Chains A and B, each alone.
Chain A
Amino acid sequence: MDLKSLVQNTRTLFSLPDVLICINQLIDDPNSQVNDLAETILCDAGLAARLLRLANSAYYKPQRRVETVSHAIILLGHRQVRDLVMTTVAVSIFKGLPPELVNMDRFWLHSIRCGSAARRLAQHRQLHETEHFFIAGLLHGIGKLVLYSQYPEHYREVLELAGEDELARIAAERRIFKFTYADVGAELLKSWRLYDHLHMAVAYHLDPSWALATYRLDNHDSPCRGPNRQQYASRGRCSFQSVNGRYRDAFRATRQIA
């Protein structure tokens, strides 16, 4: 099994719709107007309806009913609009996977929780562009969906070996595929070209200690970057079981949040 071929073969199946690409460009363009964005969103009736529903939700508690997409954009802000559009698109791209392999409701609820938690942590750390953290959390597991869709029989083997234990599943993926869902997700996201750091966040979310310092938020030395790097590198790719209990504990705490 070859990672790059797998993603290459599924690029058409799991491609981003034009409306998302257009919306992303408008949000990133400092000269774009609210009406430009509204008109683009209105090209997709489902998206427009969802945006209105979010703006009218209990979470935003508008003083009066929001009835136009322009009003919704002003109320929610461009970044929240991007979060919603990305979530809607991601959910719609991966429809129709084998229900015996994945409960999609559970998968997406967990993914949205991860996105919300990542954004909240970034806000606590007073970082900029917190919607990027939401999207990274939201999409961190999409590699699993690619594996479920392309290799359902092999993934059944993973489930038989590992059951519900997440760490055991990762080990079983490495054994059967020679890569993990994180590698697959990162490769797919690289092909989507959303923004630079997204695929790095997904690629290293299982092994944060292996990521370059540029992509890390912690302030600790890591055995992977320190004088013992060679020793760890010689074991092959770092894993949080073998290298760094600190990350394993943090990973478990993160699972409790999301």
Chain B
Amino acid sequence: MHFAPLAKLLNLQPELLAALPTEIDLQAREIFEIVRPVPMAAFSPYSS
């Protein structure tokens, strides 16, 4: 993946960006599972 253009634009180190996709994906999937519409009877506030 080529993060250099974005890193240059934002004055960040490309290495910082290279780690982002995995971290972002894990976090986003977790949030998505919580917010997706499901019948409340099937929703537990404690399972993850």
Chain A residues with a Cβ under 8 A of chain B: 45-46, 48-50, 52-54, 56-59, 65, 83-84, 87-88, 91-92, 95, 105, 108-109, 112-113, 115-117, 120-121, 124-125, 217-220, 246-247, 249-250, 252-254, 256-258
Complex Cα–Cα for A250 and B1 (A) = 12
Which residues in A have their C-beta under 8 angstroms from that of B37?
A: 91-92, 95
Q: Can you report 23 A-B residue pairs in the complex whose CB atoms are below 8 A from each other?
A: A49-B40, A52-B45, A53-B45, A53-B46, A53-B47, A56-B45, A58-B48, A84-B34, A84-B35, A87-B31, A92-B37, A108-B36, A109-B32, A112-B28, A112-B35, A116-B27, A116-B31, A120-B24, A217-B10, A218-B11, A250-B6, A253-B5, A257-B6
Chain A nearest CB, measured from B2 CB (Å):
6
Chain B residues with a Cβ under 8 A of chain A: 1-12, 16-17, 20-21, 23-32, 34-37, 40, 43-48
Which residues in A have their C-beta under 8 angstroms from that of B29?
A: 109
Which residues in B have their C-beta under 8 angstroms from that of A91?
A: 35-37
| Pick from A52, A116, A246, A254: contact of B46, CB under 8 Å | A52
Do A250 and B5 form a contact, CB below 8 Å, given A58-B48, A84-B35, A113-B28? yes
Which residues in A have their C-beta under 8 angstroms from that of B24?
A: 113, 116-117, 120, 257-258
Which residues in A have their C-beta under 8 angstroms from that of B7?
A: 253
B interface: dominant SS: helix
Contact A65 B46 (CB under 8 A): yes
* Minimum CB distance partner of A52 in chain B: B45
Contact B48 A116 (CB under 8 A): no
* Minimum CB distance partner of B27 in chain A: A116
Complex Cα–Cα for A92 and B10 (A) = 33
Most B C-beta atoms less than 10 A away, residue of A92, A115, A252, A257: A257
Do A58 and B30 form a contact, CB below 8 Å, given A91-B36, A92-B37, A250-B9? yes
| Pick from A58, A109, A218, A249: contact of B10, CB under 8 Å | A218
Chain B nearest CB, measured from A108 CB (Å):
6
Chain A nearest CB, measured from B13 CB (Å):
9
- Give the 5 A-B CB pairs with smallest separation, nearest first: A249-B5, A52-B45, A253-B6, A57-B48, A112-B28
Contact A45 B40 (CB under 8 A): yes
* Minimum CB distance partner of B17 in chain A: A257
